[in-house]
Structure 1
């Protein structure tokens, strides 16, 4: 019997290739018409611009194994992601850095002075109970109100006081002029797009790929299933639906340049969208080749039954429901749940690949010993 991988995103592609290269027959199915999952990219037929169909995806990592892996399957072109923010009628750079701080407060401070200045602004909160208190303890009221309060409310559809403090994971300020959004050693985008990279990963011995195919339609008996679709969907939502945020995209075509940057965040609460992305800037090596430009306004909202899930909410109610689904999964034989949707976690692409490679290592060891793979290689 062969193995089945459900989902042709990065998790599924890596696991399928590992199995195929080890001599095992694999069927990969995906109900969409393309490979790559939500990092799918394609040439826009009207403008010719390489487009991140489900929103921007920037590859960044410091993991040497992951970097070595992706460079096997794609030409990775250097790309340093920078984000511009519009807040309270001003234009600033993100993450918060020394330029942002000096511009916002109309000062000319060096690093030490800026540190002391921000320290004088923060609230003394020993144990922040929510996102807002965490932000006030890190940066003070003015920066929080300008850059985070409205944007966070739009992105998550709730008050920052209802979000856990952990959502704000690290100090969101730099006391130098470094405006690079990511700090990882490798930052790049595949020159041919992510879908081409996924296609190359899946171009492996013993691997059959079947698109426009729902797993529920299959009648074949498999040795084991690796499921990277939504965890609750596998069980027919019998316990209820896990909460997600989704995105709506408003397409805009213009001549020349529209905004002069890949991403501009709109932080004010009275602006209904969260950001505008201009996609030719995600491929700076070719951005001057086009007469037209393609942009999208992004609107965040709660995901409905027919929507594409983007961000797991993971608040108290979802955590309780998640534990119940985990118990169901652990009682289900011959199925392992992997990836962002299968484990109900937000994952960057490098972490997705790192976890899929680690799962593949363990999987092949278990198969060699005649043992069954676990329900989860990584606990949700």
Structure 2
């Protein structure tokens, strides 16, 4: 009998497996359809001995000390600040758009004091801001929107930014200084020996059993467990009762090149030309020294493994139907990107899993308290009965 069956060995499932096993001595079975742990963060050495991310680049960054400290128990870190260039008008310029982007693109010599006025001069007033197009046009104007965002978004999401919720492009900042880092979080680092090695340490507990190449439908009637933690697609769990939730997927084309370095930085975005959205060179991320280098091209597509929930009001409405079902399902806890139909960064998934663990711990403590209270009340009844019996016997004896 397992205390928990956990479906999915990505960040959400693995964090909860580790916490429940190590902190509460729970017996945990964690299963995954794939032949590996680590979910989409899975990395491995390819046939040339280069460490690559199978499902595209995963860059760790967070402002949460709790999340960083938690993961630090399972890995040493390699400091890494991510930088991205965009291929625009035959040039490679920094993205997110910053002071150097504008100066390079337009042949200007603006200062940090000037560039804010530049953005104000090209921005269009939009009220209210509802769509991804509205977000960008209201910040940097239509020309930069066309150069950097419109076609990239069309490729990535299969629809125009005017059809997408504002949350999609709100994630990308615009800077008035020369900071060319893609992220500005307090903690920016990569697991020293890779993500898969970190997951291996996380799951290396005697209370945790792992089954790979396993669909939970195939074993759920054969393996006894008390509670389930589900990290897969929420619509699939409920047999698509309210219809299928839309996702965008990706096709990855990996190449190894007979050279030490190929790109000028870790990632180059292609917002206009080519069918792919970006190219990543992994040695920038891993710090590995090798005479060859490995890159990956990303081609967005409608079909395939679910990666990105599509943020549109009609999809949110469908998800809310599933959420009500999930909330009313006893003994099953839904956590992670697919189970909650929301795009989370890795650190946000870890934080969500730790929050659920805290909730489960508090519920357990409350059950212990309630159980102790019931026992205490029972003991009081026995005691009071004994006192009454003694008192009664004492009275009869005196007569």
Same fold (TM over 0.5): yes
Q: For 1:261 and 1:61, locate their aligned partners in 2 and report how far apart those are by CA, in whole Å.
A: 21
CA-based RMSD of the aligned residues comes to 1.5
1:139 corresponds in structure 2 to 140
2:250 corresponds in structure 1 to 247
Q: Deviations over 1:72-103 (max 9, x none)?
A: 10111101100011012121011111100111
Q: Does 1:291 align with 2:291?
A: yes
Contact residue 138 and residue 172 of structure 1 kept, 8 A: no
2:149 corresponds in structure 1 to 148
- Call closer, same or farther: CA 1:29–1:170 in 2, change over 3 Å: closer
Q: Alignment partner for residue 44 of structure 2, among 39, 42, 45?
A: 42
Contact residue 164 and residue 311 of structure 2 kept, 8 A: no
1:314 shift after superposition:
2.7
1:31 corresponds in structure 2 to 33
1:220 shift after superposition:
2.1
Greater C-alpha Rg: 2
Q: For 1:171 and 1:70, locate their aligned partners in 2 and report how far apart those are by CA, in whole Å.
A: 26
Q: For 1:166 and 1:20, locate their aligned partners in 2 and report how far apart those are by CA, in whole Å.
A: 36
Deviates more, 1:346-355 or 1:164-173: 164-173
Q: For 2:355 and 2:173, locate their aligned partners in 1 and report how far apart those are by CA, in whole Å.
A: 31
Q: For 2:106 and 2:264, locate their aligned partners in 1 and report how far apart those are by CA, in whole Å.
A: 25
Q: Which residues of structure 1 form unaligned runs of 5+?
A: 372-380
- Call closer, same or farther: CA 1:6–1:66 in 2, change over 3 Å: same
Q: Alignment partner for residue 262 of structure 1, among 262, 266, 286?
A: 266
Q: Alignment partner for residue 278 of structure 2, among 270, 275, 278?
A: 275
1:88 corresponds in structure 2 to 89
* Number of equivalences: 363
1:351 corresponds in structure 2 to 348
1:200 shift after superposition:
0.8
Contact residue 243 and residue 314 of structure 1 kept, 8 A: no
Q: Secondary structure at the match of 2:245?
A: coil
Tell me the TM-score normalised to structure 1 length. Answer: 0.92
Q: Alignment partner for residue 339 of structure 2, among 339, 342, 348?
A: 342
1:171 shift after superposition:
6.8
Q: Deviations over 1:252-288 (max 9, x none)?
A: 22111222321100011x421101111122112x2xx
- Call closer, same or farther: CA 1:301–1:70 in 2, change over 3 Å: same
1:328 corresponds in structure 2 to 325
Tell me the TM-score normalised to structure 2 length. Answer: 0.88
1:186 corresponds in structure 2 to 187
1:234 shift after superposition:
1.1
Q: Alignment partner for residue 307 of structure 2, among 310, 317, 341?
A: 310
